[in-house]
Amino acid sequence: MNYLDSVVLGIVEGLTEFLPVSSTGHLTIAEKALGLEIDDAAVTAYTAVIQMGAIAAVFVYFFRDIVAIVGGWFKGLAKPEYRGTLEHRMGWYAIVGTIPIGIVGLLAKDVISGPLRSLWWVAGALIAWSAVMVWAERAGRQERGEKQLGMKDAIIIGLVQCVALIPGVSRSGATISAGLLRGLDRVTATRLSFFLSIPALTAAGLYELKDVHGISAGPVVVGTLVSFVVAYASVAWLLRFVSHHSIGRFVPYRVALGVVLLVLLGLGVVSPT
């Protein structure tokens, strides 16, 4: 992997990590286009590590919120009067909502980094989950805001987040859809999606760091920095977008990309791995 590869993958990661279009799916496509071995352990680990740049962007963008949540969570542990605050509850939601994907991610690691890296899976998931996104927008009542969040919401959305381990589904697409189906308004569902991403992606990046042994430090650093800059702009844009628009706006792109991939795979123009 050279520096040009790292810049391209950093841009793809930062641009797609938080949009409901599947960053893993796009990274798999980009890696294939760059001639990289998409089922190679080092390449798989590299994509997880440069996610740290995107996570850093979330930390910076939501710094005040995160400080308030962490502070409120610790205060609630020490003093009962703080346990009903939104900040204390949000801390628990982020922790509990992350447990399912942590367990499933570890148990299914070989499948996720192996067979599921096939472009057949990416194409199918891009198309299939698009139907769920459309359903969520149509069925979601969007009658509850952040103050009405409950532990049941965190558990259900955390469980649905596990589906995003399939490349092509999209972690944000899965969690936002689940939030809408729980009756949350679109902005609340999106913010919760961001907060759930922090522990999940941080843990994944740190865990995979040990496997980036075939790639020099330079491309790893460059890819991470590029993903940070692009992801910060992406986060800011998405929050403004969802306050006025449906996530269904991303569906035509997802379906078109999935169909193109299926055609190319079917004609043998590209190989699935």
Structural contact between residues 102 and 200, judged by C-beta atoms closer than 8 angstroms: yes
Query: What token pair was written down for 103?
Result: 């367990």
**Structure confidence at residue 110 as a pLDDT band (50, 70, 90):** confident
- Are 194 and 238 spatial neighbours (Cβ–Cβ below 8 Å)? no
Of 23-32, 140-149, 204-213, 256-265, the range with the lowest mean pLDDT is 204-213
CB 43 within 8 A of CB 5: no
Query: Binning pLDDT at 50, 70 and 90, where does residue 232 land?
Result: very high
Q: Which residues contact residue 34 at a Cβ distance below 8 angstroms, ignoring those fewer than 6 apart?
A: 5, 8, 9
The whole-model pTM stands at: 0.89
pLDDT of 45 reads 79
Identify the burial level of 79 via C-beta atoms within 10 angstroms of its C-beta, where 0-12 means exposed, 13-18 middle and 19 or more buried: exposed
Average pLDDT over residues 113-117: 79
- 41 vs 225 pLDDT, higher one: 225
Confidence of residue 116 (pLDDT cuts 50, 70, 90): confident
Q: What does the pLDDT look like over 175-197, one tens digit per residue?
A: 999 999 999 999 999 999 989 88
Q: Over 80: is that where the pLDDT of 24 sits?
A: yes
**By the 8 A CB rule, do 219 and 6 touch?**
yes
pLDDT in tens, 51-105: 889 989 999 999 999 999 999 999 999 998 888 899 999 999 999 999 999 899 8
Whether residue 211 has pLDDT greater than 80: no
Q: Which is more confident, 114 or 221?
A: 221
pLDDT > 70? residue 144: yes
